[in-house]
Every structure is written in C-alpha cells, then in structure tokens.
C-alpha cells in the first residue's frame, strides 16, 4: 500500500498550510526550529512515549502517519516495530523525511497524499496518527473523518486547545495574516468539537493527554528541561494542566 503523487485531489494550494511547507528552506529548517535544544528534545521524548502508550503493542501493526512532515513520528513508530506509511502534501518535507529515515535505518514507506482525501481503503490500517496537522488544515473535521475511515482500530490526533494560552498566540498570528504578514496562522480547537467529530465517525475517546500550561515559546526561551518539568508539575498539581493544558493529544477507538 502506498501513496503516490497526484493520487488525491488537493485543496487550495494558495492556503498557507500547503504553500508554507512547500518551501525547501522551511523543510530544511523545520526540525531545528521545532525540536532543537533541551525543550525540543523533551517534546520529542514525550511524543514518542505517548504514541507507544496509545498504540502498543506496536510490533507488526500497520500505522499511517498523516502529515508526517520530516518523519519523526513515523521513524519512531517504525523503530518500535510497526509497519509505517508516512504521507504528506509537501514533497520538500518528504525529501527531508526520506533522508532521516535512511539515516535511522527505519523501514518507513513515504509518499505524497492530502489529509483531506487519503488514497487508502476503509479500515486498511490498524491505526492512523496525525500530529500538528489539524491546527493548520483547511478543513480539520474532514481530516479527522478521513483518519477514522482508513483506520480499523485507533486514531491519534493533537491540537492546540481553545482553552489555553495558545489561543492568544493564535489570535496574534491570525491578525497578522489578515494584515498581510507571512505567518502560520494556526487555529485553536475545542476538545468537545474534536470528540464530537470522532463520535460521528464511530469512535470514542479513550485517552486524553495535555502537555503544557505555559506556552512552549516561554519554555524554549528559558531552555532548561528541569525547570520546565518542575514548573509544569507544580501547575498540574493545582489542576491547571487539566483546565489550560495544550497541546492536547486525543486517542480514540472504534
């Protein structure tokens, strides 16, 4: 099973979610921007542990990673024993992903596909994962519905919560976009809306994880994983993580 260029109808390629990531410079610098430094490492370690928890046992499972980007989640899942297919709308991001997969000796199949119209049959994979996609997609509900359609068992998605400090950054970026600035004008999403969309597709939420109370940008500015873990642990102990935590990772099961 594979995805090939031109196998799905694309959305409006002028939308930033396509145009931004089609840039070779963006693709080359993506990992350094998102995952460099101690906080970037913490983000990656947390993500990998959560995916392992959500999809275990991974050995032999067929997992589709939608919006795979530079392939970090796909490679991590493959290294845990899964048969992974990673798809993305950006050929440039996939180029970086292929280099990373070869360097990690990870058995990952990579191809072009649009999250809004996946070129896979109903229930053709065991699980479908999509990280950092819904916040940018033109129609996030359609993307969730597609993930549910192709998976026979579980779906894992994440998104910045509407009830979080991310809402302020999102508002700032969307305003900047309206004023003509080049930016990733991502959206925040209510947990209830995602749960309802999953339910309409026949899925029930079985796990919810919230990562930070304070903005990721704040933690990166401090640049100390120990500080981040201590502060966030304290905020969680008084209930703020449950109320304001973001991003939210949601695991749903058919």
Mean pLDDT by groups of 10 residues along the chain of 254 residues: 41 76 85 86 93 96 97 95 97 95 91 97 98 95 98 98 91 82 83 98 97 93 95 97 96 97
Q: Identify the CA nearest to 166 among candidates 218, 92, 226.
A: 218
Could you write out the DSSP letters of every residue in 77-114?
Answer: HHHTT-EEEEEES-HHHHHHHHHHHHHTT--EEEEE-B
What value, to the nearest 5°, has the Cα angle with vertex 14 and ends 90 and 114? 40
Joined together, the tokens standing for residue 62 give 């067929």
Q: How many residues does the chain have?
A: 254
Q: What is the pLDDT of residue 220?
A: 92
The four Cα atoms 178, 184, 185, 186 give a dihedral, to 10 degrees, of: 170
121 exposure class (CB count in 10 Å sphere: 0-12, 13-18, 19+): exposed
Q: Tell me how far apart the terminal alpha carbons of the chain are, to the nearest angstrom.
A: 22
pTM: 0.90
Q: What is the pLDDT of residue 171?
A: 86
Q: Identify the CA nearest to 69 among candidates 46, 101, 92, 40.
A: 92
Measured distance CA(66)–CA(83) in Å, rounded: 14
Q: Which residues contact 99 (CB under 8 A, 6 or more apart)?
A: none
8 A C-beta contact, residue 247 and residue 241: no
182 exposure class (CB count in 10 Å sphere: 0-12, 13-18, 19+): exposed
Q: What is the pLDDT of residue 183?
A: 72
Q: What is the separation of C-alpha 84 from the centre of its chain, rounded to a whole number of angstroms?
A: 15
CATH class of 16-253: alpha beta
8 A C-beta contact, residue 87 and residue 66: yes
Which residue is associated with the tokens 């129609």? 139
Joined together, the tokens standing for residue 198 give 């999953």
Strand, helix or coil at 145? helix
Joined together, the tokens standing for residue 50 give 């959560």
């Amino acid at each position: 099973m594979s995805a090939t260029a031109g196998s799905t109808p694309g959305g409006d390629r002028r939308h930033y979610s396509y145009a931004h990531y089609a840039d070779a410079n963006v693709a080359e610098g993506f990992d350094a921007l998102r995952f460099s430094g101690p906080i970037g490492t913490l983000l990656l370690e947390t993500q990998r542990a959560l995916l392992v928890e959500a999809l275990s046992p991974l050995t032999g499972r067929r997992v589709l990673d939608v919006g795979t980007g530079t392939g970090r989640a796909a490679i991590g899942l493959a290294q845990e024993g899964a048969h992974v297919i990673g798809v993305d709308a950006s050929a440039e991001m996939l180029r970086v992903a292929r280099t990373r997969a070869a360097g990690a000796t990870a058995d990952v199949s990579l191809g072009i596909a649009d999250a809004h119209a996946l070129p896979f049959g109903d229930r053709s994979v065991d699980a479908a994962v999509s990280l950092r996609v819904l916040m940018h997609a033109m129609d996030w509900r359609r993307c969730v519905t597609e993930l549910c359609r192709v998976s026979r068992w579980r779906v894992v998605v994440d998104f910045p919560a509407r009830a979080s400090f991310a809402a302020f950054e999102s508002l700032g970026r969307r305003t900047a976009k309206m004023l003509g600035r080049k930016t990733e004008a991502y959206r925040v999403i209510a947990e209830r809306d995602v749960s309802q969309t999953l339910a309409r597709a026949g899925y029930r939420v079985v796990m919810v994880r919230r990562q930070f109370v304070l903005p990721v940008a704040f933690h990166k500015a401090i640049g100390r994983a120990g500080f981040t873990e201590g502060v966030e642990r304290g905020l969680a102990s008084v209930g703020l993580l449950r109320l304001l935590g973001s991003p939210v990772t949601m695991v749903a099961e058919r």
